Structure 1
Amino acid sequence: MPMPAGGGYQQGQQQSCFDKMKVGFIMGFSIGMATGALFGGFGALR
C-alpha cells in the first residue's frame, strides 16, 4: 500500500514560521505546566 504524498499531515501546505512558533510555545507551556504540577504537588504533600 503506497504512502500518501506529503506525509499525510498537511498535504502540500507549508506551516508558516508563526505557526511553528505557536505550536512550540503551546507544547513547551503544556509540558512545563505538567512538570510543575507534578513536582509542586509532590513538594506540597511532603
Structure 2
Amino acid sequence: MDDDTGRNACAIESPKGRPCPFCGTSMDHRHCKYVCPEHGVVYDCSDTFW
C-alpha cells in the first residue's frame, strides 16, 4: 500500500451536521430530530418554523 493513499483515506472527513443555534456545535440528525451533544434535542419535525 502506498503511504500517500493511507494518508488521503485518513484525511477524509464526514460532512458536519447543522450547527446548534446555542453553541455552534455540529448536531446529529436522528429520525425527525436534530440533537446537539451539549443541549440535547434542539429541533424536531413538530417545529413549524424549521
TM range (shorter): 0.3 to 0.5
Q: Which has the larger helix fraction?
A: 1
TM-score by length of 2: 0.35
Question: Whose RCO is larger (CA < 8 A, sep 6+)?
Answer: 2
Q: Which has the larger strand fraction?
A: 2
Specify the structure having the higher radius of gyration (Cα).
1
